[in-house]
Amino acid sequence: MRRLLFSVSASLVCLGLVPGCTTLPAPRPEPRTLPASTATGRGGAAATVDVRATSAALEVLRSGGNAIDAAVAAASVLGVTDPYSCGIGGGGFLVAWLARDQRVVTLDHRETAPAGLERSRLYEKGVPLPFEEFVTSGLSVGVPGALMGWSEALRLYGSRPLADVLQPAIRVAEQGFEVDATFHEQTRHNVERFRDFTSSAALFLGPDGQPWPVGATFRNPGLARTYRLVAQGGAPAFYRGELAQAIVSTVTQPPLAPGASRPVRPGVMRLEDLERYEALVRPPVTSTYRGYTLYGMGAPGSGGVTLALTLNLLEAQAPASLSRAEFLHRYLEASRLAFADRNAFLGDPAFVSVPEAGLLSREYAARRGAMLDGARASTSAVAPGNPLPFQGAARAVLPRVPEVARPAAEEQAPNKETTHITTSDAAGNIATYTCTIEGEGGNGMVVPGYGFLLNNELTDFDLPATVDAPHPNAPAPGKRPRSSMSPLLVFKDGAPVLALGSPGGATIITTVGQTLVNHLDFGMPIEQALAAPRVSQRNSPDHRSQAEPAFLASPEAAALGELGHGFTNVGPIGALTAIRFHPDGTVTAAAEPTRRGGGSAMVVEPVK
């Protein structure tokens, strides 16, 4: 998330004993040095968006914990320090390499639509609800999966109990941390929403109804209490009992402030929805690219398949002899084609038949790649292909994809929610973990007394133009929305080479893809590949790619313009973290040097 700013203590700016900011008797946070965005060494490593989360991961690794333990520790701290991006009110995808077993595992703990959610509730007079009203409502909240994901990850693959792993987060929540410019700015983005909910205002705003200033010490005793409850009672303490009841009450009876005029629709979540929630172990999506083997997340994740299809198209259509601009042209056009297929075919596999084998087949990539013009950019959105003949399916007729009245929230401009954690340990285990509450600040509602925001994950569903139209990512009771989260592992000759992932909505996929191209094709060291200017093409209707200012100023952008590419300046894209595994046994952990204020990378035994 950012570099720490050391300024006045909150004890000098707080006027009363309120959640979020406390008076003089509360302990000051422990001072820390500014984080480094790259570290090389041995014995384990971690990279996150925040120095306190990375420090927690290193604390666990140094005490004998493994990479999965460290990832959960980091995630729980980010629930304190980066609460507008992630937390136990949300969910995530974990991809892990288990060195002893020599296998890759994935754990889906995506949020799930309540059993009582009827699609008609998301429409009014036949038209989808206004997007902002959908976001800030009880209807947008999916059953949270994060805590179940942490619990199952530790039970199946970890070496430490949840109670131990949560201790760093409890400490940070109680002692607090100094508000930096990123935290202050994210609060400012949400201030109007937070004022409308008593619990959110009490935690995130000062007595004057304004965000806590940069330099203030932010504390979250409610979240510390929540973490202690689940440390003692495990996942059942979250999915049953007082915590579950508090979540349901917040969803069905939003804690509106007196005088709030915002229309806030209640949700339909029940205790049974929480009691029935499951984290699911799924097979990884496996693909190859130029001699490397890639392992990603399968459906309802879309990142693994979309990235694999993009790279299959690129490998077939982009020989190494091309100039960088020519290569990027083919990369953007391949991404355009892959996203057309993603939007047409991918969804929760419990509800739709996902033609994964067809989409991943080399034969399909060759057929689909014939559409790619090596000399000119597409001037409009492209239609999906037909992977069904390559699926081995009896029926090879392409189903009609209905018009979407409102695409999922993640299809829009790059956003500042979600976060990614990458960890490794001395035994060779690796965790690449993306977690989220969907939008920046989720649905805007803090569960009263428990210190965490709820997600607005159900806005990741696509809403067809008509209520009853079929669509692979249309809402349904018990369904998991399609996600772009793309935790990824890259291997060469059976050995790990790279672990990486990023936040950023649908730009997650293109951020991971471009970083791979920078590293594997252009030969950039991982820290340079990660920091390089970014561009994102996701089959946009106006054919334009979204790009960072630094990319727009590059020679490649000018050359691409000559090929017919157009660009939209959208500011920073993504916030990637990665670990590179070197042949000599050392690793390089890397985080963003500047995006989102800069991230933090550490190793257990630095190499000087």
pLDDT at 279 over 90: yes
Averaged pLDDT of the chain = 92
> What are the structure tokens assigned to 113, written together?
């639509």
User: 567-569 and 545-547: which strand pairing?
Assistant: parallel
Residue 484 counted as an annotated binding residue: yes
Q: Give pLDDT, residue 33.
A: 43
The total number of residues written for the chain in this structure: 608
Tell me, what's the pLDDT at 398? 56
CB 491 within 8 A of CB 501: no
Confidence grade of residue 467 (pLDDT, cut at 50, 70, 90): confident
Taking the CA atoms of residue 342, residue 348, residue 350 and residue 354 in that order, the dihedral angle to the nearest 10 degrees is: 10
Q: CA-CA distance, 384 to 361, in Å (whole number)?
A: 15
Three-state helix/strand/coil letters over 206-232: CCCCCECCCCCEEECHHHHHHHHHHHH
Q: Take residue 8 and report the two structure tokens written for it.
A: 């006045």
- pLDDT tens, residue by residue, 163-189: 999 999 999 999 999 999 999 999 999
Q: Choose the weakest-confidence range: 12-26, 320-334, 343-357.
A: 12-26
Query: In this model, does residue 406 exceed pLDDT 80?
Result: no
List of residues 6+ apart from 126 with CB closer than 8 A? 466, 467
The alpha carbons of the chain give a radius of gyration, in whole angstroms, of: 23
Handedness of CA 80, 83, 89, 93 (dihedral sign): negative
- The band of 302, judged by pLDDT with boundaries at 50, 70 and 90, is very high
| pLDDT score recorded for residue 394 | 42
Bridge partners of 127, per DSSP, are 124
- The answer on whether 460 is annotated among ligand-binding residues is yes
Q: Please write down the long-range contacts of 60-64, taking CB distance under 8 Å and 24 or more positions apart.
A: 60/160, 60/165, 60/168, 61/423, 61/425, 61/426, 61/604, 62/604, 64/159
Cα(584)–Cα(581) distance, rounded to whole angstroms? 9
Identify the pLDDT of residue 296.
Answer: 99
Structure tokens at 533: 């200017």
Catalytic (active site) residue 418: yes
Residue bearing tokens 């303490």: 237
What average pLDDT does the segment 555-583 reach? 97
pLDDT at 225: 98
Catalytically annotated residue among 187, 217, 418, 436: 418
pLDDT higher than 50, residue 18: no
Residue 488, φ and ψ in degrees, nearest 5? -140, 140
- The reported pLDDT for the residue numbered 98 is 99
At 483 the pLDDT is 98
* Mean pLDDT value across residues 135-140: 98
Query: What tokens were used for 318?
Result: 């982009």
> Taking Cα atoms as reference points, which of 425, 415, 416, 507 lies closest to residue 72?
425
279 closest CA partner among 92, 507, 505: 92
| Tens-place pLDDT, residues 181-213 | 999 999 999 999 999 999 999 999 999 999 999
Residue 117, pLDDT > 80, answer yes
Q: Is 462 one of the annotated binding-site residues? A: no
What is the C-alpha separation between 452 and 391, in angstroms, rounded? Answer: 43
The reported pLDDT for the residue numbered 321 is 85
Residue 401: per-residue pLDDT: 58
List strands edge to edge, sheet with 535-536: 535-536, 545-547, 567-569
Q: C-alpha 516: how far from its chain's center?
A: 18
Lowest mean pLDDT among 17-31, 553-567, 594-608: 17-31
Q: What is the mean pLDDT of residues 11-17?
A: 33
For residue 15, what pLDDT is reported? 31
Contact 69, 159 (CB under 8 A): yes
Per-residue pLDDT band for 20 (boundaries 50, 70, 90) equals: low
The owner of tokens 């994950």 is 457
- Confidence band, pLDDT 50/70/90 cuts, at residue 410: low
pLDDT in the model for residue 310? 98
- For 230-261, b/e burial (b = at least 16 CB within 10 A) is bbeebbebbbeeebbebbbebbeebbebeeee
User: What local confidence, expressed as pLDDT, does residue 417 receive?
Assistant: 78
Among 127-131, 461-465, 470-474, 479-483, the range with the most confident prediction by mean pLDDT is 479-483
